[in-house]
Structure 1
């Protein structure tokens, strides 16, 4: 089973005065890029979440947001003006520097600032966050399961698309082999005619040397190796799909090999019908490459 790099999951929860919402999403990426926005006063939570996400998805640009708020019964809580002012100054400085460098940043939300350590202060003892962190860790497993399931469902659809495209490549390769075989007799007759013409109009020409040159031209126009390699690539691609798992990088490299053989086939065809099949192959291979970009 292969998986897509596109996925999304969300969840909500609460405990005591706290309520929260999770949002986990991913898009295509060359490697694994984890971006987490977690309140920093939840000690030990971010490291745990990063580890679990790393196990669940090996590739993709993955973003996790946790928005957490406290209930209004916490009357003894108030904003710390000094810490809030420092945070706002820091945001302003970062945004100004980014603007001078032409870097676009996501808008800063109030919830992001309120989640920073020290922005809230209480007159009573600090709340013990250990039970809250434990509850969040427990809920996160369900969120990840939903996220992984969506990527698996997307992967199943990708699997079917890629298998159909491999059937097209295989059929076109077989068709090209038939055209190449039919072309062989015509090319042999043409080469023999050229050899006779050269020998007739070139006094002193070495017949063996001329024959060698024409034979070399024939070898260079032979597309048997390209067709054999295309067939082998189809088998290799099917084997990868059967294997499943994180095969995206290997599949992407294999698509480069597909494209190389199709290009060579077109350049060596010297036949309009064979060239047309080669162009069809290139079109299908390009469509496959687009799909493969989303395979984990």
Structure 2
């Protein structure tokens, strides 16, 4: 199935520290290039992130944005050592000042050092990160497949147009030789008696050799069938399609160089238009 290299996807998971999100944006590129942007405390997992993306994608530049939106309550936890020291201090003061009022819990929490940043469990954080990345990659693949399917339809429409041009050319090519022979006879009518008949036949043979496009038409049909087949294959097809576009364009140029009829010239131009339209789509196929 044809996949586009342009796509977007996002995934979010809730963690003990807050909301962890992964945003993926991909555009066309000759090779696979992963560009992660993530908080420094998660940078240790960059290698795992790259590996997860590379396992599912083969081409395109992929910008990966990892964000951790920490909730204030979830990102802090009590510091047992500081709390114990504070309790010991309060007990000592209470001995000297028995009438001292009890301290409210909110006042305790405001004491410097009582609250500390919650420690991250490395294994759990890696699990959350890989989960959100994999979800985003699956969404990206789905988006790529959807757009790729539409691109394949557009390419198939152009292939149908090229096939019709080839059919039309094959139908009128025999007329070109007949018309040339008629023009040649008309020009030579006054001096025919002075010419060697075999010389006229040689001229016709040379003309037919120069203008014979049967081989080009056959190769065009072969390339059309190959493009259709490649579009339906499950593996990445971008590079193969790009090569086939070059081959189609080469045959269209050869067809134009052999033209001895306005209809053949127009057919060559029409072919190039269809091929260029397909090439624009192919540049974005994985």
2:126 corresponds to 1:133: yes
Larger Rg computed on CA atoms: 2
In the TM superposition, what is the alpha-carbon distance from 1:21 to its structure 2 partner? 2.4
TM-score normalized by structure 2?
A: 0.77
| 1:204-243 alignment, distance < 5 Å | 212=202, 215-243=205-233
Deviation readout 1:242-262 (Å, 9 max, x if unpaired) = 223201100000001111111
2:279 corresponds to 1:289: yes
Change (3 A) 1:61 1:196: farther
Change (3 A) 1:197 1:173: farther
TM-score normalized by structure 1?
A: 0.74
Match of 1:5 in 2: 5
Match of 2:162 in 1: 169
Match of 1:98 in 2: none
Change (3 A) 1:268 1:19: same
Structure 1, 53-62 or 133-142: larger mean CA deviation: 133-142
In the TM superposition, what is the alpha-carbon distance from 1:71 to its structure 2 partner? 3.1
Whether contact under 8 Å (2:34, 2:63) holds in the other structure is yes
Q: Secondary structure at the match of 1:56?
A: coil
Change (3 A) 1:261 1:164: same
Q: Secondary structure at the match of 2:41?
A: coil
Change (3 A) 1:219 1:62: same
Q: Secondary structure at the match of 2:129?
A: helix
Whether contact under 8 Å (1:195, 1:211) holds in the other structure is no
In the TM superposition, what is the alpha-carbon distance from 1:226 to its structure 2 partner? 1.1
Change (3 A) 1:291 1:180: same
Q: Secondary structure at the match of 1:42?
A: helix
Which residue among 263, 267, 270 is the counterpart of 1:280?
Answer: 270
Whether contact under 8 Å (2:76, 2:116) holds in the other structure is no
Change (3 A) 1:124 1:215: closer
Match of 1:156 in 2: 149
Tell me, which stretches of 5 or more residues in structure 2 are unaligned?
Answer: 78-114
In the TM superposition, what is the alpha-carbon distance from 1:6 to its structure 2 partner? 1.0
In the TM superposition, what is the alpha-carbon distance from 1:280 to its structure 2 partner? 1.2
Match of 1:182 in 2: 175
In the TM superposition, what is the alpha-carbon distance from 1:171 to its structure 2 partner? 0.6
In structure 2, what is the Cα distance between the partners aligned to 1:290 and 1:249? Answer: 13
Deviation readout 1:44-71 (Å, 9 max, x if unpaired) = 5211111111121111111101022433
In the TM superposition, what is the alpha-carbon distance from 1:212 to its structure 2 partner? 4.5
Match of 1:269 in 2: 259
Tell me, which stretches of 5 or more residues in structure 1 are unaligned?
Answer: 77-121
> Paired residues, what number?
249
Aligned-CA RMSD value: 2.9
Which residue among 249, 255, 269 is the counterpart of 2:245?
Answer: 255
Change (3 A) 1:199 1:54: farther
